[in-house]
Structure 1
Amino acid sequence: MKSILKNLAPAAKRAVWIGIGVVSLLIGAIGTFLPVLPTTPFVILAAFAFGKSSPYLQDILETNAVFGPIILDWRRNGAIALRYKVVSIGMMASLLTLSVILNASPTVLVIQAVAIAAASLFILSRPGTAV
Structure 2
Amino acid sequence: MNRVNEQEVNSRGGLRWFWLALTGVALGLAILGAILPGLPTTVFVLIAAWSASKCSPRLRNWLENHSLFGERLRNWEQGGVIDRKSKITASIGMCLAAVIVVYVIGHPLLLMLILGTIGVGALVVWSRPEQLPESSRNSRC
Q: Which has the higher mean CA deviation after the structures are superposed, 95-104 or 120-129?
A: 95-104
Q: Which residue number in structure 2 is paired with residue 109 of structure 1?
A: 111
Percent of paired sites with the same residue: 29
Structure 2 gap segments, 5+ residues each: 1-8, 133-141
Deviation at 1:108, TM superposition (A): 3.6
> 1:11 aligned to 2:19?
no
4+ residue runs over 6 A deviation: none
Please give the TM-score of this superposition, normalised by the length of structure 2: 0.77
RMSD: 2.2
Verify the 8 A CA contact 1:36 1:92 in the aligned structure 2: yes
Verify the 8 A CA contact 2:105 2:111 in the aligned structure 1: no
Please give the TM-score of this superposition, normalised by the length of structure 1: 0.82
Structure 1 gap segments, 5+ residues each: 1-6
Change (3 A) 1:9 1:48: closer
Q: Which residue number in structure 2 is paired with residue 40 of structure 1?
A: 42
Q: Which residue number in structure 1 is paired with residue 129 of structure 2?
A: 127
Alignment coverage as a number of residue pairs: 124
> 1:118 aligned to 2:117?
no
Residue number among 68, 71, 91 corresponding to 2:70 in the alignment = 68
Verify the 8 A CA contact 1:96 1:109 in the aligned structure 2: no
